[in-house]
Amino acid sequence: MTTNLFCLIQTLERQISINPKNNMKRVKDAIAYFNLDFSNIKKIHVAGTNGKGSVCKYLTEILTLAGYKVGTFVSPYLKVFNERILLNNRLISNQDLKLYLEKILNYNDTLDEKMSFFELLTVMAFLYFKDQEVDVIIIEVGIGGKLDVTNTINYDLSLVTNIGTDHIEKLGPTEIDILNNKIGILKENGTMFTTMDLKHKDYVIDYSRKINAQVFFVDKPEKLNDNPLRFILEGNQYELKMIGEYQLFNAALAIKGINYLFPNIKYETISKALCNAKWAGRLELINDTPKIYLDAAHNKEAAIALRESIEILFPNQKIVSIISILKGKDYQSFITELNKFSKRIIITSFPDPRLADLDKIKTDFPKIELIKDFNAALKEINNPCETYLITGSIHFLGYFLNNFKK
Res. 143: pLDDT tops 90: no
The residue among 198, 204, 232, 191 whose CA lies nearest residue 218 is: 198
Paired residues of 370 in beta bridges: 347
**Which residue type, as a one-letter code, is found at position 58?**
Y
- Same-domain status, 344 and 271: no
Paired residues of 43 in beta bridges: 137
Question: What pLDDT, in 10s, does the model give residues 1-44?
Answer: 677 999 999 999 999 998 888 999 999 999 999 999 999 999 99
Q: Alpha helices of 214-330 — where are they, by DSSP H?
A: 247-261, 267-276, 300-313
- Same-domain status, 301 and 212: no
Q: What is the rounded CA–CA span in Å between residue 226 and residue 304? A: 17
Rounded mean pLDDT, 257-277 = 98
How many other C-beta atoms can be found within 10 angstroms of the C-beta atom of residue 164? 22
CA 73 to chain centre: 10
Conformation bin of residue 369: beta by default, left when phi > 0, alpha when psi is -120 to 50? beta
- Same-domain status, 262 and 303: no
Rounded mean pLDDT, 277-296 = 94
Output the domain CATH number for residue 300: 3.90.190.20
The residue among 327, 267, 337 whose CA lies nearest residue 301 is: 337
- Same-domain status, 251 and 358: no
Residue 22, domain extent: 3-276
Q: 222-225 and 229-233: which strand pairing? A: antiparallel
Which of 211, 244, 276 terminates a domain? The answer is 276
- Same-domain status, 67 and 186: yes
pLDDT band for 277, please (50, 70, 90 cuts). very high
Question: What pLDDT, in 10s, does the model give residues 145-204?
Answer: 899 999 999 999 999 998 776 555 566 567 888 888 889 999 999 999 999 999 999 999
pLDDT attached to residue 286: 96
- Same-domain status, 221 and 300: no
- Same-domain status, 230 and 312: no
Paired residues of 229 in beta bridges: 240
Res. 304: pLDDT tops 80: yes
How many helical (H) and strand (E) elements, i.e. helices and strands, does the chain have? 15, 17
Output the domain CATH number for residue 33: 3.40.1190.10
Pair 349, 372: CB distance under 8 Å = yes
- Same-domain status, 97 and 39: yes
How many other C-beta atoms can be found within 10 angstroms of the C-beta atom of residue 1? 12
- Same-domain status, 7 and 150: yes
Name which residue leads in pLDDT, 210 or 176: 210
- Same-domain status, 167 and 126: yes
Q: What is the rounded CA–CA span in Å between residue 2 and residue 374? A: 27
Percent with pLDDT over 90 in the chain: 88
pLDDT attached to residue 230: 98
Residues 6 or more apart whose CB falls under 8 angstroms from that of 56 comprise: 46, 72, 74, 138, 140
- Same-domain status, 244 and 303: no
Pair 305, 297: CB distance under 8 Å = yes
Question: What pLDDT, in 10s, does the model give residues 370-392?
Answer: 999 999 999 999 999 999 999 99
Which of 259, 276, 293 terminates a domain? The answer is 276
Q: Structurally, how many domains does the chain consist of?
A: 2
Percent with pLDDT over 70 in the chain: 98
Please tell me the pTM assigned to this model.
Answer: 0.93
Which of 233, 249, 276 terminates a domain? The answer is 276
**Which residue type, as a one-letter code, is found at position 160?**
V
pLDDT attached to residue 1: 65
- Same-domain status, 263 and 305: no
